[in-house]
Amino acid sequence: MSKIISILGGKGGTGKSVTAINLGVALNEFDKSSIVIDGNLTTPNIGIYLGMPVVPVTLHHVLQKKNDIKEAMYLHPSGIKVIPGDISTSQLKNVDPLKLEKVMADLEGLADYIIIDAAAGLGREAIAAIKASDNVLIVTNPEMPAVCDALKSIQIIKEMKKQVLGVVLTRSRNDGLDMNTRDIENMLEYPIIGVIPEDNNVRKSMVLKNPVVFLNPKSEASVAYRKLAANLTGNKYEERIEKKKGFFSRLFGF
């Protein structure tokens, strides 16, 4: 049975998309297949981050009932399957975000984990992602504005009776200026299950349009995402020698 997890943050720019992508890659390393869905219908980023901004069939086409969800799925060289959104504003017509929940049923059994990169804020698209998922992972930065927005997201999630798996802190600098982790946990009333350090390799991976876990597996951020994946799957994380992976310049249709 597939586990559907929405990545939610409330505030934009917290690193939701980067977390969704790299968590998917890290899960694969624990022999857990994953599908990453761009649930941000207005401003989709997943395809852009992975070097596939324009593809023949997108999630928008599926929600418009033009195509089957399997036709919008693409296999990335890193091993994750991706269902990108359409960057064209013209494709926003006749798209109902709340239909996302129904689409999830057609993905049952195709992967161990289905990860939805939810839209920022608490609008219809974010609500649709929460509604379509079994569990929610909160992504925030260790700063007060982001944590406050995360708290609002948690309140909505509770009202919708969905389970919060925990909190992931991204862009942690450990420079004495970040909010204390204990204070964040007390404020949000959920444990921090992953801390992703500020790592220039993440920026490099975005420029090169590949997940940092795939591109630079030994980087600090990659290790942190791998630890997060181990935490979610109940595996014990152990450092191991990474094998050099092959690199392909294009995506293959699934």
What are the structural domain ranges in the chain? 3-237
pLDDT of residue 239: 66
Residue 46 is predicted with a pLDDT of: 97
Q: 90, 91, 97, 81: which is closest to 37 by C-alpha?
A: 81
Q: What is the mean pLDDT of residues 44-69?
A: 96
Q: Give the phi and the psi of residue 23 in degrees, each rounded to 5.
A: -65, -40
Residues 189-217 pLDDT 10s? 999 999 999 999 999 999 999 999 999 99
Alpha carbons 202 and 10: distance in angstroms, whole number: 21
pLDDT at position 240 is 53
Give the per-residue pLDDT at 244. 40
Residue 243's pLDDT is what? 42
Whether the pLDDT of residue 14 is over 70: the answer is: yes
The pLDDT-based confidence of 237 (bands split at 50, 70, 90) is confident
Show Cβ contacts of residue 59 under 8 Å, excluding neighbours closer than 6 positions.
Answer: 37, 38, 39, 41, 44, 69, 72, 83, 84, 85, 86, 103
Fold of the domain spanning 3-237: Rossmann fold (3.40.50)
Tell how strand 34-39 and strand 113-118 pair up.
parallel
- Model confidence band, residue 251 (pLDDT cutoffs 50, 70, 90): very low
Distance CA 186, CA 184 (A): 5
With a cut of 50, say whether residue 26 has pLDDT above it. Answer: yes
Task: Give the separation between CA 132 and CA 130, rounded to whole angstroms.
Answer: 5
178 neighbors 186 (Cβ within 8 angstroms): no
Q: Above 60 in pLDDT, residue 246?
A: no
